Structure formats: structure tokens, C-alpha cells
Amino acid sequence: MKPDSSQLVYDGKLVDVTLERWDEHEREIVEHPGAVAIVAIDREGLLTLVRQRREAVRKELLELPAGTLEEGEAPLESAQRELEEETGLTGGTWRGVVAFYTTPGFCRERMHLFFAHDLERGTSSPADDEQLELVRWPAGEIELHLPEIEDAKTLVGLLLYFREREATKAG
């Protein structure tokens, strides 16, 4: 599946826009290298989230630790790097859970979601344009906090995690 023609119409720093022709239709597409997000549970059974200012939406949001894939980087490697940078969490047991498109109507971004358990706490080193506040919740209390979440990847991750916990309890 590929376009009849493709033209770069905006060459930005994070975001590029391509104009593609598909049969008689034109599509404007936001390019993106892909991303990772982590449902991160430490040895004390606490989930770590990050609260940060999201200029694009004019709001502080509470989100899963996440980041953008760097060139040549595998999703798991990227996820482990981003988690350590943003939260100081390392080690643990990792599992790829699902990959999905964040907004496939106009953007290429594919998000790889991981569950990581038994993580060890350490010192974070966020990028200097990231002002992050770490928020920790007991993993068993996630459902109570769901109404505080306004970010798609975080909703997907926490709902899948919650569903798995319930299935384990029931089984």
C-alpha cells in the first residue's frame, strides 16, 4: 500500500508534513518516528506516572512515562531509556503488550506499550525542556484515579493493566 506521489510540504523540527496523492484523493500526513509508553510498577507495588505541562493542549496532564523513538532504536530499548530518564526506574521484568496508532486519520505515530514490573527506584535525569513531577499510586488503586486521566495512551495502558489484574484475581 503506497501513494502515487508524495511531497514534503513542511519540514519542521519534531513534525514534518507530507502531501500524498492516493488515486484521486490528496492526503496531508504528519510524519512521526513512533513512540513508547510504559505502565511502570516498582518493587513496592507502586505505579509511577508523570505530571507535566503540555503546551499543545494548554494544560498539565498526568501520563504514563513515554517518549519518542530515536533513529535506529528498538522500542524496548527506547522504553527502558525513557523510563530511566524520566523516573529513575531501572531493572525489572518487561513485556510488550500492544502497539497502536494514536491518531491514524492524519498522523503516522505508532505507540508501543510496555508493562514493566519489579522496577528499582533511582535518580531521574529529564531532558532540560521537560519539567516532570512524579506521581505514585498503589497499583490496586488505579481504577479510582481513572477520572483524572485525559491522555489516550495512558487510558489504554491503565485500562489494559486493570483488566489483567481483574482477570488474575478472578482466575
Of residues 16-75, those binding a second copy (CB under 8 A) = 17, 19-20, 22, 25-30, 35, 53-59, 61, 63, 66, 68
Going by C-alpha positions, the residue among 96, 121, 123 that lies closest to residue 110 is: 96
Q: What is the CA radius of gyration of the chain?
A: 18
Q: Is 77 in the site for a second copy (CB under 8 A)?
A: no
How many whole angstroms separate alpha carbon 166 and alpha carbon 150?
A: 23
Work out whether 110 is an interface residue with a second copy (CB under 8 A).
Answer: yes
Instruction: Retrieve residue 19's grid coordinates.
Output: 502531501
Q: Answer left, alpha or beta for residue 119, where phi above 0 means left and psi between -120 and 50 means alpha.
A: beta
Report the C-alpha gap between 36 and 131 in whole angstroms: 19
Q: Does 169 bind a second copy (CB under 8 A)?
A: no
We find the least distance from the C-beta atom of residue 25 to a second copy, in angstroms, to be 5
99 binds a second copy (CB under 8 A): yes
> Interface with a second copy by CB under 8 A: which residues?
1-3, 9-10, 12-15, 17, 19-20, 22, 25-30, 35, 53-59, 61, 63, 66, 68, 98-111, 129, 149-153, 155-156, 159-160, 162-163, 166
